[in-house]
């Protein structure tokens, strides 16, 4: 997948997180607290990906992409808590969980490939 496509995909993901947050019941304190955490981590994926696509070095890129992976993993936690502990049973949660897992796989692959290119470049310099 090209970075332009992934930039749009992470933006769409953030939008879906925002829309889910807006549908959560506000009368329950635990849902409000978990929802705010979900909103922060879920939108952070797109923000960090955009920062990573403007990285000044391979190391900076890896750092941002690994942050994307960490934020997506944290988003999984909040989605699971909403589903399992807060008993929010809407199909969008399962769809977002699947998207989180796909994004994590993409970010991990990007990080590994960039690290491998860095290592190969250093070995050629020797």
What lies within 8 Å, CB to CB, of 111 at 6+ separation is: 62, 65, 66, 69
The whole-number average pLDDT for the span 21-43 is: 95
Percent of the chain with pLDDT over 70: 94
Nearest to 98 by CA among 88, 86, 106: 106
The whole-number average pLDDT for the span 73-82 is: 98
Q: How many residues can be counted in the chain? A: 126
Percent of the chain with pLDDT over 90: 87
120, pLDDT greater than 90: no
| Comparison of pLDDT for 30 and 123, the residue scoring more | 30
**1 — pLDDT class (breaks 50, 70, 90):** very low
Angstrom distances, CA of residue 23 to CA of 62, 118, 121: 34, 44, 49
The whole-number average pLDDT for the span 75-91 is: 97
| pLDDT value, residue 126 | 60
pTM score of the predicted model? 0.90
| pLDDT value, residue 22 | 97
36, pLDDT greater than 70: yes
């Amino acid at each position: 997948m090209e970075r332009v496509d992934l930039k749009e995909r992470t933006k769409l993901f953030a939008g879906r997180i925002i829309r889910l947050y807006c549908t959560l019941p506000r009368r329950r304190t635990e849902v409000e607290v978990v929802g705010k955490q979900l909103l922060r981590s879920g939108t952070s994926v797109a923000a960090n990906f955009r920062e990573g696509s403007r990285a000044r070095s391979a190391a900076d890129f890896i750092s941002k992409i690994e942050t994307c992976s960490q934020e997506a993993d944290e988003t999984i936690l909040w989605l699971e808590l909403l589903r399992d502990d807060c008993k929010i049973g809407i199909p969008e949660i399962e769809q977002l969980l699947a998207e989180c897992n796909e994004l994590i796989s993409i970010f991990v692959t990007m990080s590994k490939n960039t690290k491998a290119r860095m290592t190969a470049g250093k070995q050629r310099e020797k």
